[in-house]
A and B are shown apart, each in its own frame.
Chain A
Amino acid sequence: MGIPKKFLKNVQLKAPSNNHERRLEIWEEGWNASGTFVPKGVLYEDMDRDFIKLVKEELSFSVEGEDVPVFFLTIQRWAEFARTWEFTDKDRNVQIPFVTIVRQPDIQFGTNPVTQYTIPQKQRFDYMKVPNYDGDSVGVDVYKIPQPIAVNLMYEVRFFSYRMREINKFNKIVMQAFQSRQKHINCNGHYFPIVLETIGDESTIDQFESKRFYVQNFEMQLQGYIMDEDDYEVTPAIKRVVTLFETQPNVVPSLNVTNNLDSGRETIEYELSLSYIVNVPHNPINQTPPITINDTALITTVTLENVRDCSNISTGCSAISPIIEIDPNTGTWITTTLPIQILPKYKIRTTITPIDNTIDSKVTLVGYRNEI
Chain B
Amino acid sequence: MENNQNQQTKVPITRLNKFFDDQDFGLEVDFGREYMEGDLHVTIVLFSIDIEETDTDDVYKEVNAENVRFHPPVELLVNLEIAAGENQTYNPNGTLRYRDYGNMTFNIFEQQLEQKQSEIKYGDYIGYRDSEETMKYWVVVNDGKIISDNEHTIFGYKGAVRTVECTVADRNEFKAI
Contacts and interface: CB of A to CB of B under 8 A. Distances in A.
Interface in B70-127: 121-124
Q: How large is the interface on B (under 10, 10 to 19, 20 to 34, 35 or more residues)?
A: 20 to 34
Contact of A89 (B4, B49, B141, B143): B4
A161 to B, nearest CB: 14
Interface string A74-98: 1011111111011111111001000
A45 interface: yes
Given A76-B123, A79-B123, A81-B123, A88 B3 contact: yes
A92 B60 contact: no
Contacts, number: 79
Interface residues of A, number: 26
Contact of A85 (B51, B54, B124, B146): B51
Interface string A48-69: 1100100000000000001101
Given A87-B1, A90-B4, A90-B5, A81 B61 contact: no
A192 interface: no
Given A48-B60, A74-B61, A92-B143, A80 B3 contact: no
B59 A78 contact: no
A127 interface: no
B58 A49 contact: yes
Contacts of B54: 82
Contacts of A95: 1, 4
Contact of A77 (B1, B58, B141): B141
A89 to B, nearest CB: 5
A89 B3 CA distance: 6
B51 A81 contact: yes
Contacts of A81: 49, 51, 121-123
B5 A92 contact: yes
A287 B61 CA distance: 106
A72 interface: yes
Contacts of B1: 66-67, 69, 86-87, 95
Contacts of A87: 1, 3
Contact of A79 (B4, B56, B145, B146): B56
Interface string A259-280: 0000000000000000000000
A77 B59 contact: no
Contacts of A77: 122-123, 139-141
A187 B1 CA distance: 30
B62 interface: yes
A145 B77 CA distance: 61
Nearest to A64: B1
Nearest to B141: A77
Interface string B45-61: 00001010010111111
Interface string B27-55: 00000000000000000000001010010
B7 interface: yes
Contacts of A78: 49, 51, 121-124, 139
Nearest to A89: B4
A89 B6 CA distance: 9
A82 B51 contact: yes
Contacts of A72: 59-61
B121 A92 contact: yes
Contacts of A80: 122-123
A88 B56 CA distance: 21
Contacts of A91: 145-146
Given A67-B1, A74-B61, A77-B141, A90 B123 contact: no
B59 A85 contact: no
A89 B121 contact: no
Contacts of B124: 78
Given A78-B123, A82-B49, 7 more contacts: A45-B57, A45-B59, A66-B1, A85-B121, A87-B3, A88-B5, A95-B1
14 contacts: A67-B1, A72-B59, A76-B63, A76-B123, A77-B122, A77-B141, A78-B51, A79-B61, A80-B122, A82-B54, A83-B61, A91-B145, A92-B122, A92-B145
Shortest 4 CB-CB contacts between residues of A and residues of B = A78-B123, A77-B123, A82-B51, A79-B61
